Chain A
Amino acid sequence: MVDFSLTPDQESLRELARKFARSEMAPRAAEVDRTGRFPEEIYRKAWELGLMNLNVPAEFGGTGLGLFDQCLIVEELAYACAGMTTSIIANCLALEPILLGATPEQKERWLRPFCADYHLASFCLTEPSGGSDAAALKTRARRSGDDYLLTGEKCFITNAPHAALFTVFATLDPALRHKGITAFVVPRDAVGLVPGREEEKMGHRASATSTVRFDEVRVPAADRLGAEGEGFSLAMRTLDQTRTPIGAMATGISQAALDLAARYALQRTTFGKPIAEHQAIQAKLATMAQQLTASRLLTWLAAWTIDGGARGTLESSIAKCFSSDAALRVADEAIQTFGGYGYMKEYPVEKLLRDAKLTQIYEGANEIQRIVTARELLKRYA
């Protein structure tokens, strides 16, 4: 039977996330957006409350939530600040390959100490020469006795300047394309691992993004994730898990945009009445509400599908792509509803547009999501 109601557990975790988002994150969002400061005190508090390593099972010190529950939390956090949310959930992205591909001994060795304290991790896939075509990555892993030597450069890596642990995808031989890609776990103190300068970004300014250089970084074979050549599949299976929460993030941005626009429309008067009484504005709000509701339901469907044990590639690519496109439109209409004030940094709506934009790009750009969706779809007709 279809049932859209949340369980009491889900109500409680959503409430906790909402309280944290509105009392801790929201009051700092504008300042951090302006300055680009990395608000580590907020991330530390998120970790303390159990809002950080959501996908890591409790036996390793994480929160151990399913994807649906993660999405409930991510939507609430993103409502207050999508940029901080990016940094908070980057740990889930970076740790997912370990959850999927590590041996029990490796999980014990990496996850437990990592989760026992406040630490950040980075997922290193994208490179300056390309992100969408992950099979073409150039960072090399050369065998050297019992070790590997990693050499190359990653870019746009979330949290890299502050991370303690890096999951890194490198190739044994570029000619092998995806069959050569192998995953490694590398600690920050590995000699030759150098995060670059923080990028100045359009949005998500609370989150830090930088390059990471690998200069003959020695990695013991015991720190390889899975077998040689399994890295590509590990990366894809990771993204199958983590793109749905991007749908939830986009939904949170849309909800914030609609709330602001509706409240403003009831207050602002033109031609003798609140603009909410002008049909053009009502149509905007109605369309925003449609986009928002569809985003949330598609995200819930994808999360529910994956929690049920299916891979959910079709559902998650639809959810991520639709919700992020919707967030951009909803944020845009919120600005339009605010008129000139919407264009001013003093009001919170223009930030939503800048933040929404990223959700169309990262964790697989929407062009790639459409390719994935079509491929999954056509399989069913072939």
Chain B
Amino acid sequence: MEIAVCVKPVPDPDTRLRASPDQRTLDPEGVKYVLAGYDESAVEQGLLLREQIPGSAVRAFAFGPAPRAPEILRSCLALGCDSATHVAANEPVDDPLVVAAALGTVLGSRPADLILVGKQALDDEEGLVAPALGALLDRPSFSSVTDLRWSPDRARFSFRRSTEVEVERWEAPPPLVLGLQQAWNDPRTAKLPNVLKARRMPIESVPAAPGAAAGRSVPLRFDLPAPRAGARMIEYSTPAEAAERLVRILREEAKVFP
């Protein structure tokens, strides 16, 4: 089975973020771009399916400018993806329809049985690439997918969609486009030797189709969320749990200690 996973370079939440001087985008100066959030689940899910289905390959695709897109493709290779393709853009593009068009053009000529994406990107959380890819490639698409499994005897995928109000169970044959909410497991961490090996692996680079940028939306203004003031309640069931959460908040958010 051919599994394509599309990933987006997003700002490392641990780096210092600020608006660009023209207040239209994030200032990329000093920001590290990483594979994160639901995209990690998409990669993990692809790798889990490959373990389950003999003869499968997981191919990673990222659209965006260098070096940030090739960098996260290296992360995908370190995690175990079989190949990586950089759909090269000259500048960062966030418009999900443009992203879907650029990826769709490349994926259209390399038929995959399954296209996995994160249900939404960690940074802009628009959640449109999966449905847009489905529409462009004329394939069924689903978002907020969890618990994705392959039943070999029925030659179908089964999965759930969890929304605010319901849990749906689905079954569908390939080809499909799925926006992943969560893999079966927590995403794996790349091992050091594989990280180093991935640095030597080739990354294919293809230019984004001309016109991919047409009709893109223009951001009017970009602000970082204002720091929230006031009290914050910690929910807990045992005192130990309360303490653990408080410590985590102090460490990871307030950064009172490392």
Interface residues of A (CB under 8 A from B): 8-9, 12-13, 16, 19-20, 22, 26-27, 30, 48-51, 58, 63, 79-80, 256, 259-260, 263, 347-348
Contact = CB atoms under 8 A, between A and B. Distances in A.
B199 A63 contact: no
A227 B190 CA distance: 41
B74 to A, nearest CB: 8
B9 to A, nearest CB: 15
Contacts of A20: 189
7 contacts: A13-B192, A13-B195, A27-B251, A49-B190, A58-B193, A63-B192, A347-B257
Considering residues B78, B247, B258, which has the most beta carbons from chain A within 10 angstroms of its beta carbon?
A: B258
Interface of B is mostly: helix
Given A8-B199, A9-B196, A12-B196, A348 B191 contact: no
Contacts, number: 47
A50 B258 contact: no
B258 A16 contact: no
B154 interface: no
B198 to A, nearest CB: 8
Interface residues of B, number: 17
Interface string B188-214: 011111011001000000000000000
Given A12-B195, A27-B251, A80-B258, 11 more contacts: A12-B78, A12-B196, A13-B196, A16-B189, A27-B248, A30-B247, A49-B189, A49-B192, A63-B193, A348-B257, A348-B258
Contacts of A49: 189-192
A33 B224 CA distance: 38
Nearest to A58: B193
B232 interface: no
A16 B195 contact: yes
B258 A260 contact: yes
Interface in B238-258: 247-248, 251, 255-258
Contacts of A8: 199
A260 B193 CA distance: 32
Nearest to A346: B257
A378 to B, nearest CB: 41
B192 A50 contact: yes
Nearest to B194: A50
Closest 6 CB pairs between A and B?
A50-B192, A348-B257, A50-B191, A12-B195, A50-B193, A49-B191
Nearest to A348: B257
Contacts of A63: 192-193
A259 B256 CA distance: 10
Contacts of A22: 258
A85 to B, nearest CB: 14
Contacts of A9: 196, 199
Contacts of A30: 247
Interface centre among B189, B192, B195 (most CB of A within 10 A): B192
Interface of B: 74, 78, 189-193, 195-196, 199, 247-248, 251, 255-258
Contacts of A51: 192
Nearest to A45: B189
A346 to B, nearest CB: 10
Give the residue among A16, A19, A58, A259 with the most B Cβ atoms within 10 A. A16
A350 to B, nearest CB: 12
A138 to B, nearest CB: 40
Contacts of B193: 50, 58, 63
B193 to A, nearest CB: 5
A16 B192 contact: yes
Nearest to A25: B258
A49 B191 CA distance: 4
Contacts of A80: 258
Contacts of A19: 189
A263 B199 contact: no
Contacts of A13: 192, 195-196
A153 B74 CA distance: 50
A19 B257 CA distance: 16
Contacts of A50: 191-193
A48 B196 contact: no
A9 B191 CA distance: 13
B167 to A, nearest CB: 30
Nearest to A61: B193
A256 B189 contact: no
Contacts of B190: 16, 49
A48 B258 contact: no
Contacts of B191: 48-50
A50 B196 CA distance: 11
Nearest to A21: B258
Contacts of A260: 257-258
Nearest to A80: B258
B192 A263 contact: no
Contacts of A348: 257-258
A256 B258 CA distance: 7
A8 B71 CA distance: 10
A101 to B, nearest CB: 25
A26 B189 contact: no
Contacts of A26: 251, 258
A49 B256 CA distance: 28
Contacts of B251: 26-27
A19 B195 CA distance: 13
B252 to A, nearest CB: 9
Nearest to A267: B256
Contacts of B199: 8-9, 12
A242 B128 CA distance: 53
A125 to B, nearest CB: 28
Contacts of B192: 13, 16, 49-51, 63
Nearest to B257: A348
A27 B252 CA distance: 9
